[in-house]
Amino acid sequence: MSLALVQSRALLGLQAPAVTVEVHLANGLPSFTLVGLAEVEVKEARERVRSALQNAGLEFPHNKRITVNLAPADLPKDSGRFDLPIAMGILAASGQVDAARLAGFEFAGELSLSGELRPVRGALATSLALQTQQVTSCLVLPPGSAEEAALVPDARVVRATHLLDVVRAFLPPGSAQGGDADVPNDGWTPLRATPMAAHHGGPDMADVKGQASAKRALEIAAAGGHSVLMAGPPGSGKSMLAHRFAGLLPAMTVQEALESAAIASLAGRFDPGAWGQRPTGSPHHTASAVALVGGGSPPRPGEISLAHNGVLFLDELPEFPRAALEALREPLETGHITIARAAQRADYPARFQLIAAMNPCPCGFQGSPLRACRCTPDQVSRYQAKLSGPLLDRIDLHFEVPALPAEQLVKAPAGEGSASIRARVEAARSRAVARQGKPNQALQGQEIDAHVLLADTAAAFLSTAAARLGWSARSTHRALKVARTVADLAGSETTEVSHVAEAVQYRRVLRAPA
């Protein structure tokens, strides 16, 4: 009887729990049994591994009873990431590779029938989890996945292109070809971490002519990390402004970039060309609540998590399903989402900046000087009522984007570029971080009292405004945080009346029909 142990990793949210692939070869009726709460794609590994070993010229123990256990048994396993560790376990148990030399290595990869290694999702999340858990194992991954995992600083990653490349590195001592995992060859290549470069590409805010008040509001939102709701007629420039908003945000830190890229890797949407660039998600208004916040079995990240440390643009906000919009309440407050199912529970970060856009009425032209609105008051009320009060309460800045006459658009010069606006945003954000260690939007409870530094006259002004406008405590606190951001943009140590006054005008209630 022979037993071999090979280490691998499963995926559960951003965690990567360790999985030990135990392979036992015994005499008896030939069979290949795989146990350990494996999904269908994992159980199909039996046929892929069998064919890969045979086509690679390796020996498959046909006359043995093969039992493969993926421990722990109560942890669900999915995807084809266990093909490579299962194959290595069979080879180690049958003596074709040195089982003792597998210690210190962790394997993941899908096998083709020819033995080629195919990439798997979640490689970057796995590498980041190993760094967080301070595990020093070396990851052996296929091309594509290995480059992702190597983005984590100080990660130990080897890229292998074929099963035979892995086998050559772990041949038993005294074999004809020899084997040394420390010696690179054509298909076995240790990788080094790729340094992150600053990304500020994409469309420029200079493309937007006019709309000075809307640009000012977006500058405040970028400086403080605030959420935004834009209302205006069709064609006024709401989508143009939203798609250029990410260019106003400060450059990502390495840790932020790793977190965002790890979530994209889990969803199989990681783009190496966008490494270090803040993500901008723009789901269609027919997206379901599960698509927005995540879900499924096993739980997958949704659009709010894929936009972590970036921007989530929801165009035509009232047209989204009510359940999808209401599911945004908790993530807007907490910055993370917990997906609980009967068998599993997964936590994903979701600290995104919401940029939402809507028309003021069903036809879109209420209050527009260019075209008359043909909606009845009842239609306007029903349309605006699609957005609940609790959701609107959680959006920091509400403002209008008016339609501009054609002559102003034709003759107007180019607007201010994203680079100059971003410079002011970075200066204001650095003041906030130096003072309190986080953006203003993230202030909670007593932190607001300690860091807003509200002048007495400004406090009196805000109290009067909140009483007259019927604000909730949440609305008042959010106005305070916006006022603190306005003060940071002005370079003021304290929050004065002028800063509060500008913040108050951004807590506008949707205009009721006449």
Same domain, 169 and 209: no
Is 511 inside a domain boundary?
A: no
What residues have CB less than 8 Å from 61, skipping those under 6 apart? 25, 90, 93, 94
Is 48 inside a domain boundary?
A: yes
Same domain, 333 and 274: yes
Last residue of a domain, one of 191, 225, 247: 191
Mapped to the 3 state alphabet, what secondary structure does 374-424 carry?
CCCHHHHHHHHCCCCHHHHHCCCEEEECCCCCHHHHHHCCCCCCHHHHHHH
Is 512 inside a domain boundary?
A: no
Q: How many domains does the chain have?
A: 2
Same domain, 71 and 210: no
pTM: 0.88
Both tokens assigned to 284: 């269609």
Residue owning tokens 């370079």? 491
pLDDT of 514: 43
Is 510 inside a domain boundary?
A: no
Q: CA 6 to CA 90: how far, in whole Å?
A: 10
Both tokens assigned to 25: 């070869």
Give 41-47's long-range contacts (Cβ < 8 A, gap of 24+): 41/78, 41/79, 41/80, 42/70, 42/77, 42/78, 42/79, 42/80, 42/82, 44/80, 45/80, 45/82, 45/83, 45/86, 45/111
Residue 145: give the domain boundaries.
2-191
Is 513 inside a domain boundary?
A: no
Q: CA 401 to CA 394: how far, in whole Å?
A: 20
Exposure string over 244-262, b if 16+ CB within 10 A, otherwise e: bbbbbbbbbeeebbbbbbb
pLDDT per position in the chain (514 positions), as tens?
Answer: 489 999 999 988 888 999 999 999 999 899 999 999 898 999 999 999 999 999 999 999 999 999 999 999 988 898 899 999 999 999 999 999 999 999 999 999 999 999 999 999 999 999 999 999 999 999 999 999 999 999 998 899 999 999 999 999 998 876 656 556 666 667 899 998 777 766 666 789 998 888 889 999 999 999 999 999 999 999 889 999 999 999 999 999 989 999 999 999 998 889 888 888 899 999 999 999 999 999 887 788 999 999 999 999 999 999 999 999 999 999 999 999 998 877 778 899 999 999 999 999 999 888 888 788 999 999 999 999 999 989 999 999 999 999 888 877 777 788 889 999 999 999 999 999 999 999 999 999 899 999 999 999 999 999 999 999 889 899 999 999 999 999 999 999 999 999 999 999 998 756 544 4
Residue owning tokens 């091309």? 143
Check residue 240 and give left, alpha or beta (phi > 0: left; psi -120 to 50: alpha): alpha
Q: CA 303 to CA 352: how far, in whole Å?
A: 10
Is 197 inside a domain boundary?
A: no
CA 280, chain centre distance (Å): 10
pLDDT of 510: 62
Same domain, 216 and 363: yes
* Domain CATH for 223: 3.40.50.300
pLDDT of 183: 62
Same domain, 45 and 91: yes
* Domain CATH for 179: 3.30.230.10
Last residue of a domain, one of 143, 163, 191: 191
Both tokens assigned to 488: 């940071």
Is 445 inside a domain boundary?
A: yes
3-class DSSP state of 119 = coil
Same domain, 254 and 376: yes
Same domain, 182 and 218: no
Same domain, 179 and 256: no
pLDDT of 12: 85
pLDDT of 512: 45
| Residue 411 identity | K
Last residue of a domain, one of 135, 164, 191: 191
What residues have CB less than 8 Å from 337, skipping those under 6 apart? 293, 294, 302, 304, 305, 330, 331, 347, 348, 350
Same domain, 70 and 136: yes
Residue owning tokens 């805000």? 462
Both tokens assigned to 460: 């009196």
Same domain, 167 and 227: no
Same domain, 351 and 405: yes
Is 198 inside a domain boundary?
A: no
Q: Which residues pair with 169 in a beta bridge?
A: none
pLDDT of 369: 81
Same domain, 177 and 209: no
